[in-house]
Structure formats: C-alpha cells, structure tokens
Amino acid sequence: MKGLLVALAGGVGGAKLAWGLAQVLPPEKLVIVVNTGDDAVFHGLHVSPDLDTVMYTLAGIVNPEAGWGVADDTTAALGMLGRYGAPTWFRLGDRDLACHIRRTELLGQGWTLSQATRELCLALGVQHSIVPMSDDSVRTTILAEEGELPFQVYFVERRCEPPVREVLYVGAEKARPSPLFEAALNEAGALVFCPSNPYLSIDPILSLDRVRQRIAGLTVPRLAVSPIVGGEALKGPLAKMMLELGEKPSSTNIARHYEGLCDIFIIDDVDREEAEEILALGMPVEAMPIVMRSPEDKMELARRVCALAGY
C-alpha cells in the first residue's frame, strides 16, 4: 500500500496543481502542505492568503480571474473600513472576510492554525487535507534596497516593485512543522514541489526546523514542476526576483534551487533544450505541457505527476 503523496504548495500556481491532484487522488492519499509565510494581520484579522487560495480553489469558489479570493465577491465592508480611515490596499472581499473573522475567532479561543484550517475546509466541503506548514509564526520579509518590507506590503501595496536583495523567513528556524505535516513526512510515498515561487512559497516551508534535512533524506520519489516556462514566470514576480537575485530566470536555475531535494524535474515542452543541463545536476527530466489554463490541463498534469510518482 503506497503512502501519502505530499504536495508542497503556495500561491495560485500551487493551488492549481493541488486542485488537479485532488481530482486524481482520494482524500486519504493526498496531503497539501501550504506556505504560511505570507500570513498577515489586517483590521485585527488573521489572514492566511495561501491557505485560503488552496481552500477556495478546492472548494470550487475561488475567484477565477484573480486566482485568489472568493468568486463574485463584493467589497462593501472594505469601503466602509476606508471611510473609517483604515488602509484598504489589501483587497479583502465581504465573503472572504467571513473566513478571516472565523479563523481569528477560533485562534483566539486557543485553536491551532491547523485545527482552524480543518474546520474551515470541512465547512466548505473540502475533503482533502490542506495543512499549514506550521502552527508557529513565520513571516516572509523582503529585504529590499530600501530596507525590510513585510511580505504583503512588498507584494500587494508596492506591487513587487522594490528590487529584492534577499528574502528572509523570520521565525522559521524556531518554527516546527505542523503535526500533520510532520506525520505526512513520516508516511510519505512521494513528495511533489508544486509550480510555486520557490523563494516566496516553497523556501518558507524548507526553512522550518529540520524540514530541509527531512526532505533531503526521503527515499521516496520527489518531483518538482517548474514554475518557469520559456524564461517567464507563469504568474507573479518570480522572473523579476530571480534577475534581482542574480539568477537568469530558467527552469535550470529552479532545478539548481532544488538540488539534493528532488529526483525528477518536470519542465514544459518549450524548455526541452534545458533537459541535458538539468540532468547534469543529477535530476532526470520529464518534458510535458505544464501551463494549466483549463481544468483538463490541471488534471492531465496531475495525472502525469502521479504516474511518475508511482501513483
């Protein structure tokens, strides 16, 4: 009997593959471990953007245009908050706000983030396990030329414009993986790095106490799907960030990032010419269409990932 397929995810690209995997694998075979380095407090509410993006996507209520937030949401509450003088650059919709209010209430009653996430997911009918990477606080912080910026300030308020010098994961070295992440690592039959931004979504997970060593020591198939296609990021600031950090945006450089942690590297057909260089890093390469536009694209990529992982 195969163990769990453990998917590491964050952001919109990660949520898309997570959705595909959830169509292909039953709930008892899949654990989606999600970045919480992006979490922030707005209007006194604990917002977990990446957890919510995966939860809304699996629940079928995500805003399809943005890839985050709830479909057909309105912003009446945000409008009123603005009238009261609160900052409104972080666009929290009315339906979305309910999630943050409920989460904040549960956390205030002593629930862990893992417990609160399970409660919210069950309420939305999500059967698959969506697990925060940690119940402890980790805050991704951008060290820009002008100084340190909290992640959402950099990402949303400043639209990823400040050039990045370094990405910090404040609190990560002391943060323990969540109990279900820990258990999933013990029972893993395969590990998948979703096509998420390595710096913003995957590295916060890898920087948790002993997680990188645990993944380096896994003997089950470990696969990564490149978030770069033809030198461009599928979404978000990854290509710009790579240039600012002194790396050419390419699948090869993403593969280098996962050296020692990944056994099979999946690239898009258009990047086939990079296969040899990636293979030289010790990672066999599989080329296939990895741009997920339709539900069929997501399921097909998930099926191929599962087949390569032996599922």
Return residues touching ligand FO1 (CB under 6 A): 10-11, 38, 47, 49-50, 52-53, 68-69, 90-92, 96, 152, 155-156
Between 63 and 251, name the residue whose CB sits nearer to ligand FO1. Answer: 63
Q: Sign of dihedral through CA atoms 292, 202, 160, 242?
A: negative
Between 9 and 262, name the residue whose CB sits nearer to ligand FO1. Answer: 9
Between 92 and 229, name the residue whose CB sits nearer to ligand FO1. Answer: 92
Using CA atoms of 250, 254, 260, 261 in order, give the dihedral in degrees to the nearest 10: -140
Say how far apart CA 1 and CA 133 lie, in whole Å: 25
Between 99 and 192, name the residue whose CB sits nearer to ligand FO1. Answer: 99
- Shortest distance, CB of residue 39 to ligand FO1, whole angstroms? 9
Q: What residue number has its CB nearest to ligand FO1?
A: 91
- Shortest distance, CB of residue 140 to ligand FO1, whole angstroms? 9
Between 92 and 188, name the residue whose CB sits nearer to ligand FO1. Answer: 92
Q: Where are the beta strands (DSSP E) in 207-263?
A: 222-225, 228-229, 232-233
- Shortest distance, CB of residue 215 to ligand FO1, whole angstroms? 21
Q: Tell me the residue type at 291.
A: V
C-alpha 306, offset from chain centre:
19
What stretches of 25-93 show up as alpha helix (H) in DSSP?
49-59, 76-83
Between 38 and 268, name the residue whose CB sits nearer to ligand FO1. Answer: 38
Between 22 and 47, name the residue whose CB sits nearer to ligand FO1. Answer: 47
Burial 150-182 (b: 16+ CB within 10 A, else e): ebbbbbeeeebebebeebbbbbbeebebbebbb
- Shortest distance, CB of residue 69 to ligand FO1, whole angstroms? 5
- Shortest distance, CB of residue 156 to ligand FO1, whole angstroms? 4
- Shortest distance, CB of residue 20 to ligand FO1, whole angstroms? 18
Q: Which two tokens stand for residue 129?
A: 């396990």
Query: CA of 103: how far to CAs of 58, 107, 204, 229, in Å?
Result: 18, 6, 21, 36
Contact 155, 163 (CB under 8 A): no
Own/partner pairs for 84-88, CB < 8 Å, 24+ apart?
A: 86/43
- Shortest distance, CB of residue 67 to ligand FO1, whole angstroms? 7
Say how far apart CA 311 and CA 301 lie, in whole Å: 13
- Shortest distance, CB of residue 236 to ligand FO1, whole angstroms? 7
Between 80 and 216, name the residue whose CB sits nearer to ligand FO1. Answer: 80
Say how far apart CA 176 and CA 174 lie, in whole Å: 6
